Amino acid sequence: MAIRSRKIYLMAAAGLALVAAAIVLALGRGARPPEEFDGQRAYQDVLTQMEFGPRTPGSAAHAQALAWMQAELEAAGWQVEIQEAVALGHPIQNLVARRGDAAPQVILGAHYDSRIRADRDDGPGRDGPVPGANDGASGVAVLLELARTLPRDTVPVWLVFFDAEDNGGLPGWDWILGSRAFAASLTETPRAVVIVDMIGDADLNIYRELNSTPALVDEIWAQAAALGYGQFFLPEGKHSMTDDHTPFLEAGIPAVDIIDFDYPYWHTAADTADKVSPHSLEAVGRTLWAWIVNQK
């Protein structure tokens, strides 16, 4: 993802409190709590991806990750389609998972590719690929654990694992190639698109991304507060990102980028599994689990 950074403090605490109170009331009327989402199991998914190696486009690790994700999703009862495209001469393979034929009301997305060059690294790893534990594997892990645990009676949800997100700024590449290809082919208009990216950081601080649809951010941040995760979902606005939510915003579809961009190991060889916390994965996953269950 690319960034244009500025900091704006959004004093929306009163509004968030009202939405959070409504969510608490809804949970009190019988909605299931999100304990099914297991942060430790999601962390094992991060470790599995790291065992493949960097999932750089066209690599054996990339192919292994794609086959593994498909197997995990099918085992959880999802129908899987591989969407193939070409952008800037690069083959793209997005994975789309759904349950049933209904048009999606919610699309959850994460990128699964790794950057081919750790160009923000000051050490000898600079010319090698990024391991991608937080930047890539963490979002995939959250989506896979949601696939295992979401009830079948939610609104129609698609899970989309985007290829070729992370090589912008390198010769012959651009950012978000996979999500642009997917959005261009989308014939349905979902009510919301939610992207998770770099959400496994052990020091988790998720600010309101400045391009994201404010009302959608309000809903998700209020859900986090209602579950006791308000310390991770911060009320201030910070960072204007070009990320996988961007093509949907450009198409007029409400979208949010859930991202902790204050991650010191971004695009370095030190983006490894020891920087990822099961508790952070669980905070984000349970928030999204409950938010989806409350959609009607």
In the predicted structure, residue 21 carries a pLDDT above the cut 80:
no
In the predicted structure, residue 4 carries a pLDDT above the cut 90:
no
pLDDT confidence tier of residue 200, bands split at 50, 70 and 90 = very high
Q: What is the mean pLDDT of residues 203-220?
A: 99
In the predicted structure, residue 19 carries a pLDDT above the cut 70:
no
- pLDDT digit string, tens, across residues 230-278: 999 999 999 999 999 999 999 999 999 999 999 999 999 999 999 999 9
Q: Residue 2: what pLDDT?
A: 67
In the predicted structure, residue 287 carries a pLDDT above the cut 90:
yes
Q: Residue 35: what pLDDT?
A: 80
In the predicted structure, residue 5 carries a pLDDT above the cut 50:
no
Q: Residue 49: what pLDDT?
A: 99
Residue 112 and residue 66 in contact, taking contact as beta carbons nearer than 8 Å: yes
Share of the chain above pLDDT 90, in %: 88
In the predicted structure, residue 139 carries a pLDDT above the cut 60:
yes
The pTM score is 0.91
Q: Residue 22: what pLDDT?
A: 46
Q: Residue 33: what pLDDT?
A: 61
Q: What is the mean pLDDT of residues 87-111?
A: 98
Q: Which of 29-38, 189-198, 217-226 has the lowest average pLDDT?
A: 29-38
CA–CA dist 238, 107 (Å, integer): 24
Q: Residue 3: what pLDDT?
A: 54
Q: What is the mean pLDDT of residues 71-83?
A: 99
Q: Residue 26: what pLDDT?
A: 45
The first and second tokens of residue 148, run together, are 């295992």
| Structural domains present in the chain | 2-293 (3.40.630.10)
pLDDT confidence tier of residue 32, bands split at 50, 70 and 90 = low
In the predicted structure, residue 174 carries a pLDDT above the cut 60:
yes
Top-confidence residue, 16 or 32? 32
In the predicted structure, residue 147 carries a pLDDT above the cut 70:
yes
Output the average pLDDT for the chain: 92
Q: Which of 18-22, 154-158, 205-209 has the lowest average pLDDT?
A: 18-22
Share of the chain above pLDDT 70, in %: 89
Q: Residue 144: what pLDDT?
A: 99
